[in-house]
Amino acid sequence: MARAPRSRASRAERRMQKERAASALQRGLPVPTPLPKRAPASAAPRSSSSPSGRARSPASGSTSSDQRMPLAVKLLGLGLGLLGLVYGLTLFRDHKSLPDPTVAPANMIGTPAK
């Protein structure tokens, strides 16, 4: 069986990080904490307490890869929105260009002049 890679940082880089953290603690400076490791989606068991994937705590971040909307869906929505806008503007223009039926024109073609 092949071992999964632990970290992309080399041993020397990890050792330097530990030394920096130790010297920062001695001087009373804040120590940068490493980000939590991300487990593959197949390895993380789903909690049965929240039936939908949307029920997450706000601290977990809302831009995780499984929460993002695909680009094709965004483009489709944008296209449909633009089509609706053009259609609405066309209807508005046509409605404005129609003459008002309550106002009778003074000189209609086809009526005999007196």
Q: What pLDDT digit, counting tens, does each position of 22-63 carry?
A: 998 899 988 877 677 776 666 655 555 555 555 555 555 555
Tally Cβ neighbours within 10 Å of residue 111. Answer: 8
Domain extent listing, the chain: 71-97
pLDDT per residue over 62-104, tens digit each? Answer: 555 557 889 999 999 999 999 999 999 999 998 887 776 676 5
> Measuring CA to CA, how many Å separate 24 from each of 5, 12, 14, 16, 109?
28, 18, 15, 12, 94
pTM value is: 0.32
